[in-house]
Amino acid sequence: MTAVLYLAAALAIVSVRDPFGGVAGRHLLREAAAAVGYVVRHPTLRSLAIGISTGNLAVGIVVVAVPVLVVQHLGGDAAQVGQLWALLGVAGVCAGLVTGRLGTHGREPVIVAGAFVGLGAGILILATAGSLASVAAGMVVIGLSLAPMDVALFSLRQRRTDPAWFGRAFAVSMYLNYSGRPIGSAIAGPLIAVSFTFAFGLGIVFALVGALLIYVLVPAEHGAVAAGEGLAGS
Protein backbone atom coordinates (compact mmCIF):
# COMPACT_ATOMS: atom_id res chain seq x y z
CA MET A 1 0.00 0.00 0.00
CA THR A 2 2.89 2.36 0.70
CA ALA A 3 4.27 1.73 -2.79
CA VAL A 4 0.85 2.27 -4.35
CA LEU A 5 0.40 5.59 -2.58
CA TYR A 6 3.83 6.82 -3.65
CA LEU A 7 3.05 5.79 -7.23
CA ALA A 8 -0.24 7.67 -7.11
CA ALA A 9 1.58 10.77 -5.85
CA ALA A 10 4.12 10.47 -8.66
CA LEU A 11 1.36 10.24 -11.27
CA ALA A 12 -0.34 13.30 -9.82
CA ILE A 13 2.87 15.33 -9.88
CA VAL A 14 4.18 14.30 -13.29
CA SER A 15 1.67 16.48 -15.11
CA VAL A 16 2.64 19.61 -13.18
CA ARG A 17 4.65 22.07 -15.26
CA ASP A 18 7.01 24.77 -14.09
CA PRO A 19 5.30 28.06 -15.03
CA PHE A 20 8.70 29.71 -15.49
CA GLY A 21 10.14 26.95 -17.66
CA GLY A 22 13.27 24.91 -17.11
CA VAL A 23 16.77 26.37 -16.93
CA ALA A 24 19.18 24.63 -19.28
CA GLY A 25 22.94 24.40 -19.02
CA ARG A 26 23.28 24.20 -15.24
CA HIS A 27 25.49 21.58 -13.66
CA LEU A 28 23.57 19.61 -11.03
CA LEU A 29 26.43 19.05 -8.57
CA ARG A 30 27.65 22.63 -8.92
CA GLU A 31 24.18 23.99 -8.21
CA ALA A 32 23.75 21.62 -5.27
CA ALA A 33 27.06 22.75 -3.78
CA ALA A 34 26.07 26.38 -4.25
CA ALA A 35 22.78 25.73 -2.46
CA VAL A 36 24.57 24.14 0.49
CA GLY A 37 26.86 27.17 0.67
CA TYR A 38 23.88 29.54 0.53
CA VAL A 39 22.14 27.78 3.42
CA VAL A 40 25.30 27.57 5.54
CA ARG A 41 26.03 31.29 5.11
CA HIS A 42 22.39 32.38 5.50
CA PRO A 43 21.84 33.43 9.15
CA THR A 44 18.22 32.29 9.35
CA LEU A 45 18.45 29.06 7.37
CA ARG A 46 21.61 28.06 9.21
CA SER A 47 20.02 28.72 12.60
CA LEU A 48 16.89 26.79 11.66
CA ALA A 49 18.99 23.84 10.54
CA ILE A 50 20.79 23.73 13.89
CA GLY A 51 17.75 24.19 16.10
CA ILE A 52 15.17 22.13 14.22
CA SER A 53 17.48 19.20 13.54
CA THR A 54 18.19 19.08 17.29
CA GLY A 55 14.50 19.18 18.20
CA ASN A 56 13.71 16.57 15.57
CA LEU A 57 15.96 14.09 17.36
CA ALA A 58 13.09 13.93 19.86
CA VAL A 59 10.57 13.21 17.10
CA GLY A 60 12.76 10.37 15.85
CA ILE A 61 12.76 8.82 19.32
CA VAL A 62 8.96 9.07 19.51
CA VAL A 63 8.57 7.34 16.12
CA VAL A 64 10.31 4.22 17.44
CA ALA A 65 9.29 4.35 21.09
CA VAL A 66 5.51 4.71 20.72
CA PRO A 67 4.89 1.39 18.90
CA VAL A 68 7.07 -0.48 21.40
CA LEU A 69 5.33 1.23 24.31
CA VAL A 70 1.85 0.41 23.00
CA VAL A 71 2.48 -3.20 21.93
CA GLN A 72 4.97 -4.48 24.50
CA HIS A 73 4.05 -2.50 27.60
CA LEU A 74 0.37 -1.60 27.30
CA GLY A 75 -0.96 -4.70 25.55
CA GLY A 76 -2.05 -2.89 22.39
CA ASP A 77 -1.73 -4.00 18.79
CA ALA A 78 -0.59 -2.64 15.44
CA ALA A 79 -4.06 -1.27 14.62
CA GLN A 80 -4.06 0.83 17.77
CA VAL A 81 -0.60 2.14 16.98
CA GLY A 82 -1.88 3.29 13.60
CA GLN A 83 -4.92 4.89 15.19
CA LEU A 84 -2.72 6.82 17.60
CA TRP A 85 -0.63 8.20 14.75
CA ALA A 86 -3.83 9.07 12.89
CA LEU A 87 -5.00 10.94 15.99
CA LEU A 88 -1.77 12.91 15.99
CA GLY A 89 -2.34 13.73 12.32
CA VAL A 90 -5.91 14.93 12.88
CA ALA A 91 -4.79 17.14 15.76
CA GLY A 92 -2.04 18.51 13.54
CA VAL A 93 -4.40 19.34 10.68
CA CYS A 94 -6.70 21.26 13.04
CA ALA A 95 -3.81 23.14 14.65
CA GLY A 96 -2.27 23.93 11.27
CA LEU A 97 -5.51 25.39 9.91
CA VAL A 98 -5.98 27.57 12.98
CA THR A 99 -2.36 28.76 12.88
CA GLY A 100 -2.59 29.59 9.19
CA ARG A 101 -5.79 31.52 9.78
CA LEU A 102 -4.32 33.56 12.64
CA GLY A 103 -1.04 34.23 10.83
CA THR A 104 2.55 33.94 12.01
CA HIS A 105 4.29 37.02 10.55
CA GLY A 106 6.94 38.36 12.91
CA ARG A 107 6.31 35.63 15.49
CA GLU A 108 7.76 32.61 13.72
CA PRO A 109 10.83 31.99 15.93
CA VAL A 110 8.69 32.16 19.07
CA ILE A 111 6.11 29.81 17.55
CA VAL A 112 8.76 27.29 16.48
CA ALA A 113 10.45 27.41 19.89
CA GLY A 114 7.08 27.07 21.61
CA ALA A 115 6.25 24.10 19.41
CA PHE A 116 9.33 22.25 20.65
CA VAL A 117 8.37 23.05 24.24
CA GLY A 118 4.95 21.55 23.47
CA LEU A 119 6.67 18.52 21.95
CA GLY A 120 8.59 18.07 25.19
CA ALA A 121 5.33 18.25 27.15
CA GLY A 122 3.77 15.60 24.92
CA ILE A 123 6.77 13.31 25.37
CA LEU A 124 6.52 13.78 29.13
CA ILE A 125 2.93 12.50 28.97
CA LEU A 126 4.13 9.50 26.96
CA ALA A 127 6.90 8.82 29.45
CA THR A 128 4.41 8.58 32.31
CA ALA A 129 1.61 6.89 30.34
CA GLY A 130 0.00 3.90 32.02
CA SER A 131 -2.81 3.41 29.53
CA LEU A 132 -3.66 3.84 25.87
CA ALA A 133 -5.75 6.89 26.79
CA SER A 134 -2.66 8.55 28.24
CA VAL A 135 -0.68 7.76 25.11
CA ALA A 136 -3.50 9.26 23.03
CA ALA A 137 -3.34 12.45 25.10
CA GLY A 138 0.40 12.68 24.53
CA MET A 139 -0.01 12.17 20.79
CA VAL A 140 -2.65 14.91 20.61
CA VAL A 141 -0.32 17.34 22.42
CA ILE A 142 2.50 16.49 20.01
CA GLY A 143 0.23 16.93 16.98
CA LEU A 144 -1.06 20.26 18.25
CA SER A 145 2.53 21.41 18.80
CA LEU A 146 4.24 20.33 15.58
CA ALA A 147 1.69 21.64 13.08
CA PRO A 148 2.05 25.33 14.05
CA MET A 149 5.80 24.87 13.79
CA ASP A 150 5.48 23.72 10.17
CA VAL A 151 3.30 26.70 9.28
CA ALA A 152 5.67 29.18 10.92
CA LEU A 153 8.77 27.47 9.53
CA PHE A 154 7.64 27.53 5.91
CA SER A 155 6.47 31.13 6.22
CA LEU A 156 9.74 32.29 7.74
CA ARG A 157 11.91 30.40 5.28
CA GLN A 158 10.03 31.70 2.26
CA ARG A 159 10.07 35.33 3.41
CA ARG A 160 13.79 35.40 4.21
CA THR A 161 15.08 33.56 1.15
CA ASP A 162 15.89 35.14 -2.19
CA PRO A 163 13.21 33.85 -4.63
CA ALA A 164 15.95 32.90 -7.09
CA TRP A 165 17.12 30.31 -4.53
CA PHE A 166 13.75 28.91 -3.49
CA GLY A 167 14.08 25.48 -5.09
CA ARG A 168 17.72 24.82 -4.28
CA ALA A 169 17.87 26.41 -0.84
CA PHE A 170 14.56 24.91 0.30
CA ALA A 171 15.67 21.41 -0.71
CA VAL A 172 18.88 21.69 1.31
CA SER A 173 17.23 23.48 4.23
CA MET A 174 14.39 20.97 4.53
CA TYR A 175 16.66 17.95 4.60
CA LEU A 176 19.03 19.55 7.10
CA ASN A 177 16.07 20.42 9.32
CA TYR A 178 14.68 16.89 9.31
CA SER A 179 18.00 15.08 9.51
CA GLY A 180 17.43 14.73 13.24
CA ARG A 181 14.49 12.36 12.79
CA PRO A 182 16.35 9.36 11.33
CA ILE A 183 19.24 9.94 13.74
CA GLY A 184 16.82 10.03 16.67
CA SER A 185 15.17 6.84 15.46
CA ALA A 186 18.56 5.16 15.06
CA ILE A 187 19.53 5.82 18.68
CA ALA A 188 16.06 5.12 20.08
CA GLY A 189 16.24 1.34 19.76
CA PRO A 190 19.31 0.83 21.95
CA LEU A 191 18.01 3.44 24.41
CA ILE A 192 14.62 1.73 24.74
CA ALA A 193 16.35 -1.59 25.37
CA VAL A 194 18.00 0.03 28.39
CA SER A 195 15.16 2.18 29.71
CA PHE A 196 11.96 3.70 28.36
CA THR A 197 12.25 6.47 30.90
CA PHE A 198 15.77 7.32 29.74
CA ALA A 199 14.76 7.30 26.06
CA PHE A 200 11.79 9.58 26.58
CA GLY A 201 13.78 11.75 29.00
CA LEU A 202 16.47 12.26 26.38
CA GLY A 203 13.73 13.13 23.88
CA ILE A 204 12.47 15.85 26.23
CA VAL A 205 16.01 17.23 26.53
CA PHE A 206 16.42 17.32 22.74
CA ALA A 207 13.09 19.11 22.34
CA LEU A 208 13.91 21.76 24.93
CA VAL A 209 17.43 22.31 23.61
CA GLY A 210 15.98 22.70 20.12
CA ALA A 211 13.56 25.32 21.45
CA LEU A 212 16.38 27.22 23.13
CA LEU A 213 18.57 27.14 20.00
CA ILE A 214 15.75 28.48 17.83
CA TYR A 215 14.95 31.25 20.30
CA VAL A 216 18.59 32.31 20.68
CA LEU A 217 20.02 31.78 17.19
CA VAL A 218 17.34 32.85 14.72
CA PRO A 219 18.04 36.53 13.97
CA ALA A 220 15.54 39.35 14.15
CA GLU A 221 13.38 40.14 11.13
CA HIS A 222 15.19 41.02 7.92
CA GLY A 223 14.41 40.80 4.23
CA ALA A 224 15.26 38.05 1.78
CA VAL A 225 18.99 37.58 1.32
CA ALA A 226 20.43 37.17 -2.14
CA ALA A 227 23.48 35.04 -2.81
CA GLY A 228 26.61 36.88 -1.80
CA GLU A 229 24.73 39.87 -0.36
CA GLY A 230 25.39 40.32 3.34
CA LEU A 231 25.19 36.63 4.20
CA ALA A 232 28.20 36.63 6.47
CA GLY A 233 27.14 39.55 8.61
CA SER A 234 23.35 39.45 8.51
25 assigned to some structural domain: no
Q: Give tens-digit pLDDT for 147-197.
A: 999 888 888 888 888 888 888 888 899 999 999 999 999 999 999 988 888
Q: Name the pLDDT band for 9 (thresholds 50, 70, 90).
A: very high
- Please spell the DSSP secondary structure of 140-165, one letter per residue: HHHHHHHHHHHHHHHHHHHHTB-GGG
Q: Give tens-digit pLDDT for 92-136.
A: 999 989 988 887 787 889 999 999 999 999 999 999 998 999 999
Give the range of the structural domain holding residue 62, as residue numbers without chain letter. 34-217
172 assigned to some structural domain: yes
CATH of the domain at 40: 1.20.1250.20
pTM: 0.84
Are the CB atoms for 151 and 112 separated by under 8 Å?
no
Q: What is the predicted pLDDT for the residue at 32? A: 85
Q: What is the predicted pLDDT for the residue at 29? A: 83
**Which whole-number Å values give the CA distances from 35 to 92, 173, 177, in the listed order?**
30, 9, 15
Q: Name the pLDDT band for 24 (thresholds 50, 70, 90).
A: low
Are the CB atoms for 66 and 78 separated by under 8 Å?
no
Contacts of 103 (CB under 8 A, 6+ apart): none
24 assigned to some structural domain: no
160 assigned to some structural domain: yes
Q: What is the predicted pLDDT for the residue at 232? A: 38
Q: Name the pLDDT band for 3 (thresholds 50, 70, 90).
A: very high
For residue 103, which of 47, 33, 155 has the smallest C-alpha distance? Answer: 155
Specify the number of domains making up the chain. Answer: 1
